[in-house]
Amino acid sequence: MKLRPFRLSLLGLSLLIPGALAAVVLFLLIYSGQAIGFNGLHFLYTINWNLGDLYDDPVQVGNVQVPSGANYGILVFIVGTLLSSFIAILIAVPLSMGAAICLAEALPAKIRPVLSMLVELVAVVPSVVFGLWGIAVLIPFIGDYLSPTGNGYGLLATSVVLALMITPIIATTLLDALLQVPKENRESAFALGATHFEVVTKAMMPMVRTTLIGGIVLALGRALGETMAVLMVSGGGINILPTSIFSPVSTIASFIVGQLDSAEADPTNMSIRALAEIALVLFIITLAVNSAAKLLTSGALNVRKRSH
Amino acid sequence: MKFSKKALRSGVAALAFVATAGFASAAHATTTLVETGSSLLYPLFNLWVPDFTAANPGIQVTTTSTGSGAGIAQAAKGLVQIGASDAYVSDSLEKKFPDLLSIPLAISAQSINYNLPGVKSLNLSGPILAGIYSGTITMWNDPAIKAANPGVALPAHVIIPVHRADGSGDTFIFSQYLAASDAAWKAKYKFGTTVSWAPISGEIGAKGNAGMLAAAAANPYSIAYIGISYANKVAAAGLGEAALKNALGAYVLPTPETIQAAANSVVTDTPPDERISMIFSLGPDAYPIVNYEYAIVKSDQPDTTTAAAIQTFLTWALTTGNGATYLDKVHFLPLPAAIVILSKTQIAKVQ
C-alpha cells in the first residue's frame, strides 16, 4: 500500500479536536472521581453548598479527606442555569424572528447588508461588555421600576443579558435561511393572492422551521455556558432556590468561577474535585440539549450549511 | 512581485531573529517576578511596581488581580513567586506546604457601608451584622439596630445584604469578624474566603470590591462590606460608613487613627510567623476589622537569583514602599516598626 503523507497528516489533524474533547471529558471524569464517590446522588438534588472550614483540619470520610463541614449540593445551580437560559430563549426568539423577517422582507435590499452586519456584530461583543451594561443600565432599571424589593440583581437581569447575547445568533441563522427560500415559492404565494404577512407565515416560515430550531439550540448552548456576564448580574444566589424572577440565582458556569479561588486554597483538593464534577454536569446538560435538538430536527443544520 | 515577496519574507525573518535575540538578551539581564492574588492589594502593587523597577532595572515585576485564594494556591505550587493575600496561610495548608511564608506588607481595614436614604450615621456591632447576614435580622427597624442607634429614624424596610460571590480575602476578614462576634455564626458558617451564605431571598452576591460598591450604590436599603482601599469611591457613591462596636464597647469609624490603634495593640502578640488575626484587637479607639496584607512566598526558591530578587522587592516594599506617597492613596497604613523587623526576618529566610 502506498503511503499517503497528505492524507495521513489530514487524518491526524482531524482527530485532534475529537481527541482533545475526549481528553477533557476523561480528565473531568478521573479528576472528579473522588468527589463523585463522596457526594453520591445527593449532589444533584440537594441545595446546600458548603466548601467547609478550610482553616480547620480536614476530616477523614471513608477513604477520602475532606474539609470539615464540607457538603456539596448543586440543585440551585442546575435550576439557575436551566431557568435563566429558558427565559432568555423565550425573550430572544420573538426578538430575533422579528429582526430576521424585517431584514429579509421589509427592508430594501440596499441597506440589508449594513443592518445584518450590525446584527452579526452584536454576536461578537465580548460578554463582559454585556455584563457592564447590565450593571450600569439594566440593574438600576429593574431595581427602580420592576422589582418589588428594589433589588435589580437576579434571574430577570441574567435572562435579559443572556437574551441580548443570543438574539444575533438566532437572527443571523434565520436570516440566512429566509434568504435561501426559493424565489418561486415566495412569488407563487404572492400570485395566489396571499398578503405579505401570509407569504411570510405560510410560505416561508415552514421552510425554515428546522433551521430556526437549529439556531435556537446553538443559542441555548451559548446561554447555558455563559459565565462572566452572568456572574456580574445574577446576584450569586446560593443555598436558596429562586422564588420569583427577581430572586438571585447562580448558573453552573458562573458559580465555578466564583468558587474556584477559594477552592484552590483547599489542602484536600476535594473542593476543586467537586467543581470538576459540576463542570461534568454542565457538560452533560449541554450534550443532552444538543442531542435532543439533533433528534428533533435531523438535518436541521443542513440549510444553514448550504447558505454559507 | 516575486522579488518583493522574497524581500518581505527575509525582512520578516530578520525581524523575528532580532526580536528573539533581543528577548533572549533581555531574559539574561533581568529576573522576572510574577505576583498574583488579592484584588485589595492589586492597586498598591500597581503603584509600587513602576517605581521599584525604575530603581532596580534588573528586576521585572508583573502583577495581576486574581483573588487571595489563587494568590496562596499559586505561590504554594511555585507557579508564581509572590502571592498577594488578605488572609494568612491556614494551618491545614501550612502542614502541606511547610515552607510557605506569610509576610505582612501593610495594614488594611474593612468598612461596613450602607445605603440608607435619610440616615447620616449608623452604629452597628458584630452580633447585629451576624444577624443580618444569617437572616435573623431582616428589617432596618429591628429592635437590636434601634437599641444601638438611639434617636436615629430607621426605616421599616427589608435589609438587602450584599456579599461577595467570588472567593475573597474581604469575605475572610468579614466572616472572621462575625465568627468572633457571634457564637451561632461561628458554629454554623465558620470563616473563610468563601462562606456557605444563609438562604436570604433578597441577598445579592457581587463580584469583586467594585461589584460590591456597584450593588450597594444601586440598591437602597442595602448593606455591604468593602475593603478600605475603596474608601474614596464609596464616599463618591454616597454610601454611609458604619461605626462598629469594638472590643471595649465603643463605636468607632475606620479612620487612620482607629486602624493604627488596632495595629499597635497586636504588635506584641504577633508571633514570628506573623499569622495572626487582628479582629477585635484591644484598645479604646481600636477599629475592630483590621488585618495585615500578606505576601505569600515560598522560602525554598529554585535558584538564588530569584530568591535575591524576591528579597530585594519585599525589602523595598517594607521601606520605600511603606511610605505615605503609596499607602495614602489606597488608605492602607504602614507596618509598626516591630512588625517590619519580624517581616524582614522572614524575608531573610527566602533562599
- What ipTM was assigned to the predicted interfaces of this complex? 0.81
Q: Given the C-alpha cell 451584622, which residue does it identify?
A: B129
Q: Provide mean pLDDT across the span B234-251.
A: 94
pLDDT score of B69: 83
Confidence of residue B39 (pLDDT cuts 50, 70, 90): confident
Q: What is the pLDDT of residue A138?
A: 94
Query: Which chain B positions have a beta carbon within 8 Å of A237's beta carbon?
Result: 203, 205
Does residue B175 have a pLDDT over 80? yes
Kindly state the greatest CA–CA separation across chain A.
Answer: 80
**With 70 as the cut, is the pLDDT of residue B22 above it?**
no
B17 has pLDDT over 60: no
Long-range contacts of A29-33 (CB under 8 A, 24+ apart): A29/A280, A31/A272, A31/A273, A31/A276, A32/A273, A32/A274, A32/A276, A32/A277, A32/A279, A32/A280, A33/A273
**pLDDT at residue A306 in the model:** 44
**Which chain B residue is nearest to residue A54, measuring alpha carbons?**
B192
Q: Check B192 against A55: CB less than 8 A apart.
A: yes
Q: pLDDT tens track of chain A, all 308 residues?
A: 677 888 888 888 999 999 998 999 999 999 999 999 899 888 999 999 998 888 888 888 888 889 888 899 999 999 999 999 999 999 999 999 999 999 998 888 888 889 989 988 988 899 999 999 999 999 999 988 998 877 889 999 999 999 999 999 999 999 999 999 998 888 999 999 999 999 999 889 988 988 898 899 889 988 999 999 999 999 988 999 999 999 999 999 999 998 988 888 888 889 999 999 999 999 999 988 888 877 777 654 444 444 44
DSSP line for B1-46: -HHHHHHHHHHHHHHHHHHHHHHHHHHHH-EEEEEEE-TTTHHHHH
Statement: residue B187 has pLDDT above 80: yes
The mean pLDDT of chain B is: 88
Query: What residues of chain B, 260 to 319, have a C-beta less than 8 Å from chain A?
Result: none
CATH for A77-258 (3.40.50.2000, 3.60.21.10, 3.30.428.10, 1.10.3720.10): 1.10.3720.10
User: Which residues have CB under 8 Å from A96's CB, separation 6+?
Assistant: A167, A168, A169, A170, A171, A174, A215
CB contact under 8 A, B92 and A56: yes
pTM: 0.84
> Which residues in chain B have Cβ-Cβ distances shorter than 8 Å to A240?
199-201
The CA–CA distances, whole Å, from B89 to A73, A216, B185, B269, B273 equal 27, 47, 22, 18, 10
Q: Does B70 touch chain A (CB under 8 A)?
A: yes
Which residues of chain B lie closer than 8 angstroms to A264, CB-CB?
69-70, 72-74, 167
Compute how many other C-beta atoms are within 10 angstroms of the C-beta atom of residue A140.
Answer: 15
Chain B partners within 8 Å of A233 (Cβ):
none
pLDDT above 90: residue B16? no
